[in-house]
Amino acid sequence: MKFMFIVTSAHAGPPTPELMEAMHKLANREIKAGRMLDNGGLMPLATGAQVRIANGKLSVVDGPFVEAKEVIGGYAIFELQGKEEALASAKEFMQLHKDLMPGWEGVCELRAFAGAQTGD
Amino acid sequence: MNAADTHRAILGVWRVEQPRLITRLARMLRDVPLAEDLTQDALLAALESWPRSGIPERPGAWLMATAKSKAMDHLRRRRMLERKHLLLAEVSEASPSFDSEDTGDDEFGDELLRLIFTSCHPMLSPEARAALTLRMICGLTTEEIARAYLIAEATIAQRIVRAKRSLSESGLVYETPSRGQLSARLASVLEVIYLIFNEGYTAARGEDWIRPALCDQALRLGRVLIGVAPQEPEAYGLLALMEMNAARTPARVSPTGEPILMAEQDRSLWDALQIRRGVHALRQAETLQGAKGFYALQAAIVACHSLAPTPEDTDWRRIASLYGDLSALFPSPIVELNRAVAVGMVDGPERGLLLLEGLRDAPQLAGYHLLPSVRGDFLQKLGRHAEARAEFEIAAALAGNRRERDLLNRRAREATAVLPTSQAS
């Protein structure tokens, strides 16, 4: 089953060097173990843009954005056996954040891809 | 959470932690079968105590500490303490907090390479290699492996125990194939991965025609292999072949479980991204001068199918030519059979039938249901319906899988009617 992990946080700013290194190691391990298919950190929201539909109108809003909100920091795509494995994996990933960037708050959301379900 | 949920949760954690656990133990002990024993012991300990105590906050550290203490027990029992005093020092300095002694990137890769070459050692039977590989690299439990193959759990357990014992007795517990040996030994690894994939892709026995879980494990193994052997074109060739075949999975089975022949599949259901990955892997094989490899050639053939928007767009001439290459380099009756199908599409069913004549007495095809199936297909195209029906009936009797048998019986019944066109599978 394919899963996407999406990390969001209200905490602006890049990870600490220690966290970067630990995440890099973890990612490499997961890639080598044949489980992680793709991953990426995203540029700050201020550098991006949004195309919105509201009140029947389509509009383009270029960054920076006024509202402070939960921002997507990055994502990863895994091929895993099921939700339990995804949860365990996400927990390990977030534990790194807790250990190496104290005070950071955020969410790692994991969702399976829609479509053909594989596995038992 | 009820007991079943807890069990699943524990196995989920297990799968995440298993690769690091076994590679670290293998490195520490310089003994792969022993490392496998100890990881299993750690799993059993977790299954025993976590339902009561809850899953620990740092399950990896818990498992590692448990495995290490069992290593100590084991070494003590073998009275090797004096020789392993250096190892003990390493063990006792282990940090219980987050993985400070996490192996470096290269080390993890090196250990994976060792694991995969050990589990796929040519001295073991292909079945033993498959079971051991699924256990050690994919982290499947014995029960999961048994379920995947529809074989009794005890049989799989025995297979794995015997395999580990054979390795130990031959002193092959911790090898590092040299660069020269790597390519030679690669064949035994590729064979195992392909075996696992094929069992999932067209199940030899049972009710289900395909078992996607096994294909997923094989694909994972393929990804591991290109990670640890990035200069080996055949590793890319095999991954390409598997990706492109697996890409058709959503279209291969009807909602009620019947197989759908490739020519009749809804190609919009084929996973286009997966095909793209497969084609990319094939290009990498070609870049590494591996275009004429056993798996690369097969991948090139599948690519012809995968890239044809409709069956009528299929480049059968190229397929026939590739089968010619395959036949010249890796002759086998099965390759000839497939070549006959392709030639039949290019030069007509009469020509195809002629090629099949040479295969009549091939011992390797004696019980192989696809030979009469292909013959039946040619006969039907030539309007020789009664003969076609007879061939499909022979094929159905030989088919080991219920779904395949049903399909062939259906073709036998339909052969008596006059159909406007019929397609190759």
| Per-residue pLDDT tens digits for B229-285 | 999 999 999 999 999 999 999 899 888 878 888 999 999 999 999 999 999 999 999
CA distance B105 to chain A (A): 7
pLDDT digits (tens, 9 = 90+) for B191-200: 999 999 998 8
Q: Does residue A117 lie in a domain region?
A: no
ipTM: 0.85
Token output for B98: 């987050």
Total count of domains within chain A: 1
3-state secondary structure of A37: strand
Instruction: Tell me which chain A residues have a C-beta less than 8 angstroms from the C-beta of B212.
Output: 116, 118-119
Q: Does residue A18 lie in a domain region?
A: yes
Q: Does residue A118 lie in a domain region?
A: no
Q: What's the whole-number mean pLDDT along residues B139-160?
A: 93
Which of B15, B107, B110, B207 would best serve as a mutation to test chain A binding (most A beta carbons within 10 A)? B15
pLDDT digits (tens, 9 = 90+) for B337-374: 999 999 999 999 999 999 999 898 888 888 889 999 99
CA distance B49 to B349: 65
Q: Does residue A23 lie in a domain region?
A: yes
Q: Does residue A80 lie in a domain region?
A: yes
B56 touches chain A (CB under 8 A): no
Q: What's phi and psi for A36, nearest 5 deg?
A: -90, 130
pLDDT digits (tens, 9 = 90+) for A28-51: 999 999 999 999 988 888 889 999
Q: Which residue of B58, B213, B227 is in closest CB contact with A31?
A: B227
pLDDT, residue B89, reads 54
Q: Does residue A119 lie in a domain region?
A: no
* Residues 324-383 in B contacting A (C-alpha not used; CB under 8 Å): none
Q: Are A85 and A35 in contact (CB under 8 A)?
A: no
Q: Are B391 and B373 in contact (CB under 8 A)?
A: yes
How many contacts (CB atoms, under 8 Å) link A and B? Answer: 81
Contact call for A34 and B11, based on CB within 8 A: no
Task: From residue A7, give the alpha-carbon distance in Å to each of A41, A77, A110.
Answer: 9, 12, 9
* Domain that includes residue A18, residue range: 2-112
Instruction: Identify the H or E element spanning B117.
Output: helix B105-119
3-state secondary structure of B54: coil
Q: Does residue A81 lie in a domain region?
A: yes
Residue A43's CATH number: 3.30.70.1060
Instruction: Tell me which chain B residues have a C-beta less than 8 angstroms from the C-beta of A84.
Output: 8-9, 11-13
pLDDT, residue B31, reads 92
Which residue pairs from B65-69 have beta carbons closer than 8 angstroms and sit at least 24 positions apart in sequence? B65/B94, B65/B96, B66/B41, B66/B42, B67/B21, B67/B25, B67/B38, B67/B39, B67/B41, B67/B42, B68/B28, B68/B94
